[in-house]
Structure 1
C-alpha cells in the first residue's frame, strides 16, 4: 500500500520523537522504504540521514555507511531533485562519515585519503568555506597520531572560522587534542582553555559534559580535587541521561581506576559495559576495553581477582575480575595493533600499553563530600588463629556480624583441629538458616570432644534458641533448661549470664512466662563477671523489649542508659548505637526529646578514647538532625551530618534517615549540588519504602523528591527539574498524598520554571493546581499568590479572555486571606492589584489607568516601593497612549521621587516626561492643568 508524501513526513516526524531503539529504527526504515517506492527523493534523503543517526546511537555506526552512499549516489545522479540546502546537508554529512571511517582500522589510509579529497573537491566546487574540511582532516590526523598534520589543519580550521559560538563540540576540539597529546605543557594549556567552561563563564547550547569528562585526570594531576569532583558528578548525571559516545564513560572508568575509586568504577562498568556488545565502532571499543582492563588490573592487584563482575545492572555477576582483565586487555591491544598496522605507526599501541600499566595519580580522591576510601579489613598480621577466633567471637557477641566475618575469613584455610568446633558454631549462628541446627549440633559435639564444657553448654543454648525459632517448643525448652542447669552447676558467672540471656530469648519466642526474671538473673551474673559487654547487651535487650511493649518510658531510659554506658566502655559500636536508639524513642514518648538532644551533645564532649568511630558518627548524626529540626540551624548541621554520613556509609551503616537529613540540611543552606547528591541516594528507596509501609515518615518521600527537583532547578537544569516535580506529583497522587505541602510547593515551583521557559499555558495549569492544594491545606496566602500568577501566565500564553476571567477567581482567593496580620494581607492585595493592572493595560481595557493607579497605591501600602514605581510608570504609559499627559506627569513625578539615584528606571521616566511635556505650548498647558489640580478643582486620578 503506497502512502503520500505528507503522511510519510508525519510518520518521520513521529519516529524522530521516539526514544532511541529498535522501534524507532523500524519506523524510520519503513519511511525509507515507502519514500523510495513513492519516488520522494528528498524525503528518502532526509529519512536516511535520521536513520543513520539512530543506528549510530545504538552503536551500529557501520550501518550509516550504505545509507550515506545511497544518498550521495541519488544526489549525484539526479541533482535537479534536490535543493541547495540538501547539498549543504550532504556535504556536512560527508565530513561526519569520514570522521567515522577513520575509527574503523579495516578502512585503509588510501580509502580515507580518497574520501577526504572528494569532500574537499565538493566544497571547493561550490565555493564553500573549507572550515568543516579542515576539522575533518584534523580529526583523521588526531586518530592516526599524525600530530604535525593535525597541527596544520587545526591552524587552518581556526583561520577559516574556528569554533562556533556556543558549540560545546567545537570548544572540545581545542581541549581534546591537548589532552590526547598528554605531555605536561599540553595538559597545562588544556586546563587553561577548559577552565572558563568548567566554571560556567562560557555558555553552550548543550551541557559541557565532554569538557568535564576530558578534564577529569588533568584536573586531578593539578591537585584541583574540588573542581574535579564537581565535574565528575555533573558529567556522570548527563551521561546517565543522554546518549553520549562510549569514550566519555571510558574516561570515567579510567578516572576511578586512577584515583582509588575502584568500587565506583565497578558501578560505572555495570552501567555501561554492556554497550560494548552492541557497539560496532572499533575506536570506541578500544578505549572502553582499555579503561575496563585498567580498572580490573587495579582490583586484581588488590587481591580481588576472584570477585565476580556483572556486565550490566540487569545481569547477575558472572565474570571474575581476573578473567575480565585478561579479556579486555587482549581486546584493547588487538584493536590498537590493527590501528597501528593501518596507520603505519606504533602510536596507538604505545598509548594503550601505557594506559594499561598506569599507576594511580592519587591514592584516593573523594568524589562527593561524603566519600571515603574503601574500608576493606585486611587479614590482621601476626595474629594467631586462636587470637583471630577470639576476636571473631567477641564481635559476634557485640552484634557486629561484618567484623565477625572479617576475622573468620582471616583464619587459615585449614585451621588447627581444636578450633573447628568454634568456627563451625560461628558460621552456623551467622547463617541462621535451615542448616543452623545441624551446624550447632556438630559444633557442640566438637566442644565435648575437646573437653570444652563451657562452650559445649553455651552452644546448646544457641541450639535451644534455634529450636524455638522453628517452633519446636518442647525440644527448645528441654535443651535450654538442661544446658542452663549444668551452667549453674559449673558456677561461671559470665557463662551463666549468657545462658540466662538465651533462656529469656527462648521464652519470649515461645510466648512463655519467665522471660524478664531470666533476664534479671542474666544481668546479675553479668555484673558479677565484670564484663561490660555482657552487662550492656543484656540491659539493651531488656530496654528493647520494654520499649516494644510501651512500658513506662522512665524505666526504658534507665535501662538504655545503663546499656549505653557499659557498651561504650566495652567499645562496641553496633550495640551502643542500638542503646541510643532506645534512649531517643523513650525520651520522645515521655515528651522529653530536648533532654535526649542535650544528652547527645554532652556525650559527644565526653566520649571514651576507645569509642568506635561509628558511635561517634552516630552521635554527630543525632546532633545534626536535632539542629535541622530546630529550624534555621542548617548551616551548623551540615558539618555534623556530612561527617556522620561519610563514616557510616563507608561502614555500610548508612540509612535512609541519614541521607534524608543530610539532603535537607544541604538544601536549606543552598548547597544544591550536595543536596542533589544526597537526595539522589535515597529518592527511589523512599518511594519503595513508602509503598511497603516501612518508611518512618511517609512525608519524607514527597519531601525528598522536592529537594531533588528544587536542587536541579537551582543548578539551572530546568528540564530535569520539571520532570522530577511532575514525578513527585504523580507518585504523591498514586499513594494518596496529593494534598500535602511538598506537593503544593512542587506544583508552584514547576509552574515558575515553566513560566520562565515561556511555556505559559502549562504554567497556568500548574499554578491553578497549586492554588487548589494550598487552599485545601489552609494556606490561603499561597493560594492567592498562585491564582494571581495563574492569571498572568494565562495572559502571556495569549489567552487574554481566560486571564481576565481568572481575575475574579484571584479576587476570591485574596478575599479568603485572613485580615491579620495586616502586612501579609496588604501584600496579597498588592499582588492582585499589580496583576490586574498588567493584564488590563496589556489588553488595552478602558479601566487600565485606574487599575495601575490602584496597584501603585496598594504596593505602597504593602511597603513594596519598587513595584509601586513600576505601576506608576505603567500608568503613565497608558495615559500617554490615551493622550492625557496632564495626568501622566504626576505619576512620573511620583515614580521619580521614589527612585534611588542609581535606579536604571530613571532613564525611562525621563523619556516619558519628555513625551508628556511635548512642545513649549503644550508644557504651558500641562502646567496650568497641574495648578488647577493642586487647587483641588481638578479631575482626580485616572
Structure 2
C-alpha cells in the first residue's frame, strides 16, 4: 500500500530518531521503497543518505555505493526537483564515496580517478571550493603510498582553505600523514603538533580520540609513557560512546600489544571481535586484523597459544594460536590485494613490518602502580613429567592459575602420565564449577592408577573423589569410599599421605554434617602432619580448622592461634598466597572480637619488619590492608599510595577484587584525581553489581557509592552526559532497593545536570521527586533547595504559573528553616533567592526580581560562592536596566 508524503516524511523522522541498528536500517529501507513508489524523490534522496550512514556504522560500507549512485543519477535526471540542501549533501557525500572507493582493492585506480575527475568537474561547474576534492585525493595518495602526490594534494588542500581549526578531522589528517610517513622528522613534527591537543589546551567540535589513538605508539617510543597512558584512557573512554572507524580500535590493541599490556589489549579485542567478522570494508579489516595478529603473536610467544579467545556477546571463540594465524593471513592477503591494485609494495611492506615488530617497551603502566602480569616463564623443552611435578607443587599451594598454565604446557600427556594430568585437571575444573567433568576425570584417574599398580596415588585420588561426592550431597557414596581409602593409607604408613587422607575425610564428614567425626579426623590429620613435618600440610590443616572454627563462632583467640600457626608454616614453605589467607583469617577473627585495631597494629608491625626480599604478594597485601585502615580512619588521601601498590600487585596476578577497586577509587577522589577515579570506578562498576546480585559484598550499597564516585569524576572532567547516566543508574537502583537517602543523593545532582543540559522538563520532574523524598526524610534544607530549583526549571519550560506556585512552596520551606548552621542557611536561601529572581523577572515583577537577585548575591557570598554571587550581581544590574527602560 502506498503512503502519502506526510506519512513517509513522518517515517523518515522516526527512523532518524532511532539508534543505529537493524531496526533503523529496516525502517529506512521501507522509507526508500515508499518514497520511490510515490515518486517522492527528495524524501527518497534523504532516506538513502541516512540509510548509507546506518550501513556504514554497521560495517556495511559496500552497501553505500549503490545508494549514492542512485541519488546521483536521480539528481542529474531531475535537477529541478532538488534544492540547495540536496546539492550540498551530494557534494559532501561524493567526496566521502570517492575516498571510500580506494578502501576496496577490487575497485581500480582508474575508476577511482574517474570518480574524482567527475566530482571535480561538478564542483568547478557550481563554483564550489575544491577543498573536499583535494582532501579526498590526498587521502587516496596516502593509502596508495604515493607520497609526492600526497604532498601535492596536501598543498592544494591547504591553499583552498582546507584546515578547519574547529574540526578534529582536519587536525587528524595533519597528524596522520606525519605518523604514517614514519621518518624521525615527521614523527617529531606530529608529536609537536599533537602536544597541545593531548594536553587539553586545544579543543574541537568532537572528542580528540582519533588524534590520541594515532599518537599512542609515537609517545611510547619517545619515552613519554605517562602521556601515552593518559591518551589511551581518554581515547578508550570517548570511543565507548562514539562511532569511530575500526582503525582507531586497532591502534588501541596494537599499542597494548607492544607495551606489555596484553590483558588490556585482549579486553579491547574481545569487545569488537564479533563485529569485526562482519566488517565489509577491506582497509579497515586489514588494519584491525594486523593489530589483532600483533597482539595474538605476543600471547603465542608467551606460551598462551592454547588459550581460548572468546568474542563478547557471541558464541564465537578461537584458540589464540589459530586466531593469530587467521588474522595474520587476512592482513597479508589484503595487503597483497591492495599492492596488486596500486602497483607497488607499500601496504605489504607496512603490514609486514608491523606483524614482526618488537615491543616498544617491556611494560608501560596504564594506571598508577600497575605492573606486568605475573606469568612465570615455562622453560622451553621442559619434559611432561617435570611440568606435572611443577603443577602439583603449585596445586599444594592452591595456585590454580599456575596449575592450569603448566597443564596447558603439557598438552596431550604421554600414556604413563595421563592419570596425573587427568587428576590435576579435575581438581581445577571442580573449582571452576564443572563438577560433572571433574568427577568423570577423577574416577578415570583412580582406576588408571590402580591398573598401573600405583597404590598410593590411587588411594589419595579416591579420597579426593569422595570429597567431591560429599560436597555434591552424595554422602552415601563418598563416606564409605573415603573411609576405605584412608584405611589403606594407614596401612601404607606414610604420615604425609595419611595426613592428606584424614584431612579429605574430615572435609567429607563436614559436608555430610557429621561434625564430631570430622573433628576427630582433623585431629588425626594434625598428628600425622606434625609427625612428617611438612609445613604445607601443617599450614593447610591449621587454616582449614581455623576457618571452620571462625564460621562456628568459636572464641576468636583460638582462631587467631590457628591463623598464626598457618601463617608461620606457609612462610616456611615459601607460599605467600597462603600466608595472605592466614592473615585474612586473623583479620576476620579480630573483627568478630570487636578489635579490628589489633589487626591494624599487626599489619603495621609486620610491614616495618618485612625484609627487602619479602614476596611482592605479601608486601602488597599488607600495604593494601594498611590503606583500608586509613580509609576507615577518615584519611583516604593518605591511603592512596598503599592502595595503589596493594591493588596493583593483586591485579598483576589477576587476584584483585571489585571492592579493592572501589576503595582505590575512594582514595583517588580524596586526592583530587578524577581521571583515575573514572578508570578505577568504571572498571569495577558492573562487577560490583554482579557481586551484589550474588550476595557477595560486605555492604550492599558499595555498587551505588562506586557509581556516585564515577558520576562525580565524569562531571569534574566535563563529561556531563556520562555523569548523568551514572547518577540515573543510582537513582534506579535506589528506587528498586527502597533506599531514600541514596535516592535523594543521586536525584539532586541528576536533576542539576538535566538543568545544565537544558533538559528542563526532566529536571523539573527530578527536582519534584527529590523534594518529595527530602520531605519524607525530614530534610528541610533539601526540600527548599529542590522546590526552588524545580521552579527555575519550570520557568525555563515556559510554564510560568506552575513555576510561581512552586516558588511559593520553596519560600515557605525556607522560611521554616532553623537558624543553625548559618552557612547552610545562607546557601539554601541563596538558591531560593536566585530562582525567585529569574521567575519573578519572567513574570514582569522586575523590582521584586532585582531585590531577590541582590539578596541572592549576598547569600552566595556568605556561603562562599563568589562565582555565583558575581553572576547574580550581573542579573541584578540587567533587571534594574530593564526596569529603567520600562520592562
> Equivalent residue of 2:59, what SS?
coil
Displacement after TM superposition at 1:537 (Å):
2.2
1:675 pairs with one of 677, 685, 696: 677
Name the structure 1 match of 2:394.
Answer: 395
Displacement after TM superposition at 1:296 (Å):
3.3
The answer to whether the 8 A contact 1:444-1:460 is kept is no
Name the structure 2 match of 1:739.
Answer: 740
Spell out the pairing of 1:233-632 with structure 2 (5 A cutoff): 233-311=233-311, 313-317=313-317, 319-369=318-368, 371-379=370-378, 391-407=390-406, 426-432=424-430, 433-435=438-440, 438-439=443-444, 441-442=446-447, 445=450, 449=453, 461-462=463-464, 464-466=466-468, 468-469=470-471, 471=473, 473=475, 476-477=478-479, 480=482, 494-512=496-514, 513-607=516-610, 611-631=614-634
Deviation digits for residues 791-842 of structure 1 (CA, Å, limit 9, x no counterpart): 2333333333222211232234435644433443344334433433443245
Spell out the pairing of 1:16-415 with structure 2 (5 A cutoff): 16-311=16-311, 313-317=313-317, 319-369=318-368, 371-379=370-378, 391-407=390-406
- Over 3 Å counting, the alpha-carbon distance change for 1:760 and 1:102 in structure 2 is same
How far apart, in 2, do the equivalents of 1:309 and 1:412 lie? 18
Displacement after TM superposition at 1:491 (Å):
6.7
Displacement after TM superposition at 1:148 (Å):
1.2
Higher Rg: 1
> Equivalent residue of 2:401, what SS?
helix
The answer to whether the 8 A contact 1:420-1:446 is kept is no
How far apart, in 2, do the equivalents of 1:311 and 1:507 lie? 43
The answer to whether the 8 A contact 1:457-1:487 is kept is yes
2:633 is aligned with 1:645 = no
> Equivalent residue of 2:844, what SS?
coil
How far apart, in 2, do the equivalents of 1:105 and 1:492 lie? 72
Displacement after TM superposition at 1:190 (Å):
1.0
- Over 3 Å counting, the alpha-carbon distance change for 1:855 and 1:375 in structure 2 is closer
Deviation digits for residues 719-777 of structure 1 (CA, Å, limit 9, x no counterpart): 2222222223223323x245242x32222222222222233332222223333334444
How far apart, in 1, do the equivalents of 2:322 and 2:483 lie? 54
The answer to whether the 8 A contact 1:569-1:608 is kept is no
Displacement after TM superposition at 1:778 (Å):
4.5
Displacement after TM superposition at 1:475 (Å):
6.2
- Over 3 Å counting, the alpha-carbon distance change for 1:777 and 1:621 in structure 2 is farther
The answer to whether the 8 A contact 2:303-2:409 is kept is no
- Over 3 Å counting, the alpha-carbon distance change for 1:250 and 1:827 in structure 2 is closer
How far apart, in 1, do the equivalents of 2:851 and 2:517 lie? 85
Name the structure 2 match of 1:889.
Answer: none
Q: Which runs of 5+ in 2 are unaligned?
A: 431-437
Name the structure 2 match of 1:929.
Answer: none
How far apart, in 2, do the equivalents of 1:420 and 1:94 lie? 65
Name the structure 2 match of 1:793.
Answer: 793
- Over 3 Å counting, the alpha-carbon distance change for 1:147 and 1:817 in structure 2 is same
Displacement after TM superposition at 1:121 (Å):
1.7
How far apart, in 2, do the equivalents of 1:522 and 1:306 lie? 39
- Over 3 Å counting, the alpha-carbon distance change for 1:436 and 1:817 in structure 2 is farther
> Equivalent residue of 1:274, what SS?
helix
How far apart, in 2, do the equivalents of 1:590 and 1:683 lie? 32
Deviates more, 1:603-612 or 1:856-865: 856-865
Deviates more, 1:608-617 or 1:47-56: 608-617
Deviation digits for residues 582-631 of structure 1 (CA, Å, limit 9, x no counterpart): 22222222221222222222222223677543232222222212222222
The answer to whether the 8 A contact 2:659-2:688 is kept is no
Deviation digits for residues 116-150 of structure 1 (CA, Å, limit 9, x no counterpart): 22222222222222222221221222222221121
How far apart, in 1, do the equivalents of 2:214 and 2:868 lie? 47
How far apart, in 2, do the equivalents of 1:412 and 1:87 lie? 64
2:667 is aligned with 1:665 = yes
The answer to whether the 8 A contact 2:422-2:442 is kept is no
The answer to whether the 8 A contact 2:503-2:522 is kept is yes
How far apart, in 2, do the equivalents of 1:599 and 1:775 lie? 47
Displacement after TM superposition at 1:874 (Å):
5.6
The answer to whether the 8 A contact 1:663-1:675 is kept is yes
Aligned length: 877
How far apart, in 2, do the equivalents of 1:740 and 1:335 lie? 58
Deviates more, 1:365-374 or 1:50-59: 365-374
Name the structure 2 match of 1:890.
Answer: none
Name the structure 2 match of 1:930.
Answer: none
> Equivalent residue of 1:605, what SS?
helix
How far apart, in 1, do the equivalents of 2:861 and 2:204 lie? 42
How far apart, in 2, do the equivalents of 1:224 and 1:617 lie? 27
Displacement after TM superposition at 1:233 (Å):
1.8
How far apart, in 1, do the equivalents of 2:60 and 2:481 lie? 68
How far apart, in 1, do the equivalents of 2:311 and 2:870 lie? 64
How far apart, in 2, do the equivalents of 1:59 and 1:219 lie? 30
Displacement after TM superposition at 1:2 (Å):
3.0
- Over 3 Å counting, the alpha-carbon distance change for 1:873 and 1:84 in structure 2 is closer
Deviation digits for residues 664-701 of structure 1 (CA, Å, limit 9, x no counterpart): 22233232222222222221222223233333321012
- Over 3 Å counting, the alpha-carbon distance change for 1:490 and 1:193 in structure 2 is same
How far apart, in 2, do the equivalents of 1:49 and 1:856 lie? 52
- Over 3 Å counting, the alpha-carbon distance change for 1:33 and 1:733 in structure 2 is same
> Equivalent residue of 1:353, what SS?
helix
Displacement after TM superposition at 1:188 (Å):
0.9
RMSD of equivalent CA atoms: 3.3
- Over 3 Å counting, the alpha-carbon distance change for 1:542 and 1:35 in structure 2 is same
How far apart, in 2, do the equivalents of 1:860 and 1:720 lie? 31
Deviates more, 1:655-664 or 1:824-833: 824-833
Q: Which runs of 5+ in 1 are unaligned?
A: 886-942
Displacement after TM superposition at 1:15 (Å):
0.7
The answer to whether the 8 A contact 1:440-1:462 is kept is no
Name the structure 2 match of 1:722.
Answer: 724
How far apart, in 2, do the equivalents of 1:873 and 1:167 lie? 34
> Equivalent residue of 2:609, what SS?
coil
